[in-house]
Amino acid sequence: MTRNTLTITDNRTGKTYEIPIEHNAIRAVDLRQIKAGPGDSGLMSYDPAFMNTAACTSRITYIDGDKGILEYRGYPIEQLAEQSSYLEVAYLLLYGELPSKERLEWWEYRISRHLFLHNSLVELIQAFRYDAHPMGILISSVAAMSTLYPEAKNIHDPAVREKQIWRIIGQIPTIAAFAYRHRIGRPFNLPDSSLSYTANLLYMMDYMNQRNYEVNPVLAKALDVLFIL
């Protein structure tokens, strides 16, 4: 008997079972071996709302809500929120490590190449009623992207998958800003790749053709932190 096991005695039958413990959890399917008789399908766990059930193991995120712990790839969320940008954290989640200066520049450039929407997608957004819910427009637009980039169906090609990641991260702010502008009846502002990721979103949402318009850097940083969280 090893130490990383749970010993269970079934008082119905008097039988004892040894169940492995891994990552401080047992597999629910291991309970199926505990049976009261030949016709019994085995013991099952009952956990409404998954209050004490882990659905997966993750190398990306660690969460302990009771202790207020959230880590991305081992980095505390408070450290990332204070010292990193949203795109840096997105890179961390996808590639497993924070980017170097050169790699971050490459990553930001790849995303900036995909800020603009296909004209057909712009027309789709414009086709919604003025009072359509922005989230409905966003979801519909993202779904429609698959019809504009048919190569995306090649999900087993790593290069194709990576390009779709660039497209989605790059175009989501533009779709969101266009949905907002459509709702308030304003013309769309095209993306400005010279701005940061969040500053560009604020620009597309807020720019009203004023002279000397500048994105508030404090607001852009706050939005960056929000996106990281």
Kindly report, residue by residue over 110-143, the tens digit of the pLDDT: 999 999 999 999 999 999 999 999 899 999 999 9
DSSP-assigned letters across all residues of 92-150: HHHHSSPPPHHHHHHHHHHHHTT-SPPHHHHHHHHHS-TTS-HHHHHHHHHHHHHHH-G
Note down the domain range covering 103.
Answer: 61-109
Same domain, 130 and 88: no
Same domain, 104 and 119: no
CA distance 108 to 214: 21
Query: What's the total number of domains in the chain?
Result: 3
Kindly report, residue by residue over 151-210, the tens digit of the pLDDT: 999 999 999 999 999 999 999 999 999 999 999 999 999 999 999 999 999 999 998 866
Report yes or no on 185 lying in a domain. yes
Same domain, 81 and 144: no
Flag whether pLDDT at 1 surpasses 60: no
Share of the chain above pLDDT 70, in %: 97
CA distance 221 to 198: 8
Q: pTM of the full predicted structure?
A: 0.81
Report yes or no on 221 lying in a domain. no
Same domain, 119 and 100: no
Same domain, 166 and 132: yes
Same domain, 209 and 124: yes
At residue 57, the pLDDT reads 85
Judge residue 104's burial from the number of C-beta atoms within 10 Å of its C-beta, 0-12 exposed, 13-18 middle, 19 or more buried: middle
Report yes or no on 145 lying in a domain. yes
Residue 97, both tokens = 């490590």
Report yes or no on 154 lying in a domain. yes
At residue 69, the pLDDT reads 92
